[in-house]
Amino acid sequence: MATVGALPRPREPAGELAQGSPVTPGRQLRCCTASGCRAGGAGPLIEALRQAQAVADPAANGLVIKSVGCLRLCSRGPLLAWDGPGGPALFALGSTDPGTAPGAAIGPEQARALVLAAATAPGPDTLAALDLEAWRPQALLPEGSPSPGPSPVGVASAPPPSPGGIGLTWDQMDLDHPFFALQQPLVLLHCGWIDPDSIEEALALGTYGQWRRCRSDLSPEAVRAMVHRSGLRGRGGAGYPTGLKWDTVALQPPGPRFVVCNADEGDPGAFMDRSVLEGDPHRLLEGLAIAAFAVGAESGFLYVRAEYPLAIERLRRALKQAHQKGILGPGTGLELELRVGAGAYVCGEETALLQSIQGQRGQPRPRPPYPAQSGLWGAPTLINNVETLAVVPAILRRGAEWFAAIGTDTSKGTKVFSLSGAVRRTGLVEVPMGTSLRTVVETMGGGVPAAPGSPGGGVKAVQTGGPSGGCIPAHLLDTPVDYESLQALGSAMGSGGMVVVGEAMAMPELARHFMHFSVEESCGKCLPCRAGTVQLEQLLDRLLAGLAEPGELDQLEQLCRMVKATSLCGLGQAAPNPVLSALRHFRAEFLAACRAESPRAAFAREPFPAGPALGPLPGGRP
């Protein structure tokens, strides 16, 4: 697939609305207003640009200014993509004061200059040369300020001398950089191109076309067979074959059944699903509708975590629009409803999620029976993750074989990762399965910058799979990203969070961080997770305080295995994983954190500390 940077112009058959498509006018500014850029002031920025266009000269009238979903390079937000002659091009607005949201600091004159340049620039280079400082509100024009050209992507240009107030930087991002060039968007195909609040734009690019095709041309069996053949596996973490799951639900005895979209993306450091919800909600709705058709469900739910207010707002609007257009809702055989969580990580577990949809405490129950057999109100229920559902329309459109040709033997298609932590370029990347971690973290992400004043730099480990996953040390970075390879290393694909850890971070401390997360998010129903994680955190506390003896590492591992083997749900069973994988790959750090074994302890060592700690011994490690 030919790519023009990260954001290949969508090449899907545009369908019946190809003529006069609102998506490809002559010139437009696409402003990312997803949560990341919104936090950088994208809201006030787009407002300022629209106001500037209203008062600018008529030359600016031809410019379309629209709000779009994630433009990938979140660390540089707010981002603006420009379409025009020689385009597309991507620009980042920055401020000389790291604490100020750049989008909120732009003055009316600066906004006007930007709009005019975007409307008239003969090419991206002209727009890149725009000097926002010259239009700085109530500031003297800095003499001979250098004209900023394209800067290395992701690296802020040196701020110009600041004569007071807040200075703005304006940098062009290099779309040929691997961060963009190596991406292969399937799930995020339209994300960043369309206005998520406009169903017309989604329709113009063919969204809901496959849902229509299902109802007119395809049988549920044919749809399931296609998903089967595509080799698609669940993107929520476990990697269960999606086609198999659909068959299980479809083949239950006749009666009502439900579909549920799990949008309770709770892994810290993961924001892929949020980007789909915020950037292309109609695509998700289409995927969910197709799933409902394939399993014979007439109603469904989208369960979104309350921490994503923008995603909820956009999804609500999308649902309403689809109802108004008669695409979903009465008369179409499918009723979808939005349910909002209330701050419980455990509700990402499917049985807990079903409890929460039914207005209960989000506590998991033992499986079997699986939700596919007995879910919402006892009816067979299909639960799929956002990314899984969002890729289904593409499989139907392009064919199962096309999808199966991407990725590795066991893991097909692409995976969206949210790259964050100590890495230079943070943001969203969608790459084919089987891409190596090194490619993602170093080539695309740029590795870890050296800390000020320290000689070192570089990646120490990559944490994948959140609190259920583990860390992969730097020397194993050539591992291909697929379900089996990551599992073999004691980590997990998880939902796609990739937190890069620099040399400065002590691994026992990271293990304790995740254990603390599990302690706080345990639902409290089963004993090992409720009480065992607390004890594990305290053992790690002792270790970090220099109070633990080397023998206690065995105790730590023993309790980890107990919690893993006996907890009720996936949260508890996976809670020890970050500790176990850190012990496996960085045991030396744990040993170094221990104090020397006391003669008494060596004489009568017990598998667990017998009582509260007394504090560090004289001469012990602080």
> Which residues inside 460-499 make contact with another protein, applying CB under 8 A?
463, 466, 497, 499
- Comparing CA positions, the residue from 157, 153, 150 lying closest to residue 178 is 153
- Comparing CA positions, the residue from 585, 586, 595, 582 lying closest to residue 622 is 595
- Token look-up 């639960």 returns 383
Q: Is 568 in the site for another protein (CB under 8 A)?
A: yes
Q: Which two tokens stand for residue 128?
A: 């890149």
Q: Which two tokens stand for residue 243?
A: 């086609």
Q: Which of 174, 195, 482, 521 binds another protein (CB under 8 A)?
A: 521
> Closest approach of Cβ 394 to another protein, in Å?
24
Q: Which two tokens stand for residue 132?
A: 């926002």
Q: Is 557 in the site for another protein (CB under 8 A)?
A: no
Q: Which of residues 323-362 bind another protein (CB under 8 A)?
A: 339-345, 356-362
Q: Which of 139, 156, 531, 601 binds another protein (CB under 8 A)?
A: 531
Question: Exposure string (b/e) for 520-539, b if CB count within 10 Å is 16 or more?
Answer: ebbbebbebbbebbebbbbb
Nearer to another protein, 58 or 612 (CB): 612
The three-state secondary structure class of 340 is strand
For residue 21, give the H/E element and its range.
none
Question: How is the beta sheet containing 258-263 ordered, strand by strand?
Answer: 335-340, 299-304, 258-263, 381-385
φ/ψ of residue 360, rounded to 5: -110, 175
Q: Is 158 in the site for another protein (CB under 8 A)?
A: no
Q: Which DSSP state fits 532?
A: I
Q: Which two tokens stand for residue 505?
A: 């971070």
Q: Is 525 in the site for another protein (CB under 8 A)?
A: yes
Q: Is 281 in the site for another protein (CB under 8 A)?
A: no
Q: Is 517 in the site for another protein (CB under 8 A)?
A: yes
Cα 523 to chain centroid, rounded? 24
Q: Is 211 in the site for another protein (CB under 8 A)?
A: no
- Comparing CA positions, the residue from 380, 209, 165 lying closest to residue 292 is 380
> Closest approach of Cβ 63 to another protein, in Å?
25
Contact region with another protein (CB under 8 A), list: 135-143, 237-245, 557-565, 595-603: 557-565
Q: Which of residues 288-307 bind another protein (CB under 8 A)?
A: 306-307
Q: Is 75 in the site for another protein (CB under 8 A)?
A: yes
Q: Which of residues 362-381 bind another protein (CB under 8 A)?
A: 362-363, 365-366, 368
Q: Which of 63, 500, 580, 583 binds another protein (CB under 8 A)?
A: 500
Contact 416, 305 (CB under 8 A): no
> Closest approach of Cβ 10 to another protein, in Å?
24
> Closest approach of Cβ 281 to another protein, in Å?
16
> Closest approach of Cβ 56 to another protein, in Å?
25
Nearer to another protein, 290 or 336 (CB): 336
Contact region with another protein (CB under 8 A), list: 70-78, 158-166, 244-252, 286-294: 70-78
φ/ψ of residue 42, rounded to 5: -65, -30
Q: Is 547 in the site for another protein (CB under 8 A)?
A: yes
Q: Is 14 in the site for another protein (CB under 8 A)?
A: no
> Closest approach of Cβ 403 to another protein, in Å?
27
β-sheet bridge partners, residue 90: 81, 173
Q: Which of 83, 133, 174, 265 binds another protein (CB under 8 A)?
A: 265
Q: Is 613 in the site for another protein (CB under 8 A)?
A: yes
- Token look-up 């910058």 returns 449
Nearer to another protein, 56 or 499 (CB): 499
Contact region with another protein (CB under 8 A), list: 177-185, 260-268, 381-389, 480-488: 260-268
Question: Exposure string (b/e) for 362-399, b if CB count within 10 Å is 16 or more?
Answer: bbbeebeebbbbbbbeebbbbbbbbbbbbbbbbbbeee
Q: Which of 135, 180, 193, 308 binds another protein (CB under 8 A)?
A: 308
Q: Is 617 in the site for another protein (CB under 8 A)?
A: no
How far is CA 271 from each of CA 70, 162, 518, rounded to the nearest angstrom? 11, 35, 19
Q: Which of residues 571-610 bind another protein (CB under 8 A)?
A: 573, 606-610
Q: Is 164 in the site for another protein (CB under 8 A)?
A: no
- Report the DSSP pairing between strands 381-385 and 414-421: unpaired
Q: Which of residues 82-101 bind another protein (CB under 8 A)?
A: 98-101
Contact region with another protein (CB under 8 A), list: 71-79, 123-131, 196-204, 220-228: 71-79
Map residues 31-50 to x or -, x wherever contact with another protein holds by CB under 8 A.
----xx-xxxx-x-------
Say which residues have a Cβ less than 8 Å from residue 80's Cβ, sequence separation at least 6: 29, 30, 31, 32, 90, 91, 92, 93
Nearer to another protein, 571 or 583 (CB): 571
Residue type, 117: A
- Report the DSSP pairing between strands 299-304 and 258-263: parallel
